[in-house]
């Protein structure tokens, strides 16, 4: 919580260009949003966005690499690591075709 140095009014976050500032609704005083405030706001919105994507499209936030899909022949796939067995064993690498969504795992 931040207050205006002029009139002790509670500053409210406001968009200014690409950044967020804290603005006094009474006198218009502005200051840079502190890291924590900014993070709290951006974090909350990105979390809800991310969960929407996961529900509708699966692992679309994963990085992509060059890998051949055996179903459609596409040469690009999302890749991510997942621990599937005992914790002391290396995690398995999973691929998901960016085109048809076919998912497969890498066998060592």
Q: Contact positions toward Zn ion, by CB under 5 A?
A: 4, 6-7, 9, 24, 26-27, 29, 69, 71-72, 74, 97, 99-100, 102
At CA 65, angle to CA 60 and CA 66, rounded to 5?
Answer: 130
Q: Which is nearer to Zn ion, 30 or 37 (CB)?
A: 30
Q: Which of 31, 52, 89, 106 is catalytic?
A: 89
Q: Reply yes or no on whether 7 is catalytic.
A: no
Strand partners, 3: 10
Kindly report the number of other CB atoms within 10 A of residue 101's CB atom: 15
Query: Is residue 88 among the annotated active site residues?
Result: yes
31 or 52: whose CB is closer to Zn ion?
31
CB-hemisphere CA count at 13 Å for 27? 11
Q: Give catalytic residue positions.
A: 88-89
């Amino acid at each position: 919580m931040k207050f205006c140095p002029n009139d002790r009014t509670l500053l409210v976050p406001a968009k200014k260009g690409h950044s967020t500032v804290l603005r006094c609704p009474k006198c218009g005083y502005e200051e840079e949003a502190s890291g924590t405030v900014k993070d709290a706001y951006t974090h909350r919105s990105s979390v809800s966005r991310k969960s929407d994507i996961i529900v509708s499209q699966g692992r679309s936030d994963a990085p992509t690499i060059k890998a051949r899909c055996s179903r459609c022949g596409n040469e690009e796939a999302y890749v991510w690591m997942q621990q599937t067995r005992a914790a002391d064993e290396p995690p398995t690498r999973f691929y998901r075709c960016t085109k048809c969504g076919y998912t497969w795992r890498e066998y060592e």
